[in-house]
Structure 1
């Protein structure tokens, strides 16, 4: 007998998913607030986005409702576009300043 995906997910308590996603989100927030490298900040924002995706997928599986998984799909599509645009901006900043430190970006002000 092969259990379906929601039955397998329901064997793990929902609180574990919530704690895991909270830990990932807190690590991402800490990275954004503490680090100064633009690439690391960018990765921490993606980590926070993935924490939200984990919660959406877990709640969708627990409620047997595909709407959460549809939201995850759209968030991943937006994240892919964000990666393309964000990395392009970071590459241009590095070409101009030879550094990705966000404290040096005050030169971009008028």
Structure 2
């Protein structure tokens, strides 16, 4: 049986995390930042599952990945609610244009 080496998983996860970090830093609206954070969380999940394959007797990696997925779903729900409230008040989702929050 051909198995994929751990280094390939780590390379893909590092690339996903880097892309997510670049998106989070460069995007000028809240939705883009949220997408970048989700990419970074998916990279963490990929690492957890990849390392969990080394010890099939324990399910720690899968359980932590499931926990990260639940936290990510809650984070998206709260973030989207906040974004909708900010948009309703300021009529923009650009963090630089929300001037009242700078003080």
Aligned ranges for residues 20-99 of structure 1 at < 5 Å? Answer: 20-64=12-56, 65-99=58-92
Normalised by the length of structure 2, the TM-score is: 0.91
How far did 1:62 drift? 2.3
Aligned ranges for residues 9-20 of structure 1 at < 5 Å? Answer: 11-20=3-12
Number of corresponding residues? 102
The one-character-per-residue Cα deviations of 1:19-63 (angstroms, maximum 9, x if unpaired) are 000000000110111111100100100110110000001110122
CA-based RMSD of the aligned residues comes to 1.4
Distance in structure 2 (CA, Å) of the matches to 1:101 and 1:107:
13
How far did 1:105 drift? 2.6
**What is the SS of the residue equivalent to 2:4?**
coil
How far did 1:98 drift? 1.3
- Which range moved further: 72-81 or 97-106? 97-106
Normalised by the length of structure 1, the TM-score is: 0.86
The one-character-per-residue Cα deviations of 1:64-83 (angstroms, maximum 9, x if unpaired) are 23101110111111111111
Greater than 4 Å deviation, 4+ residue runs: none
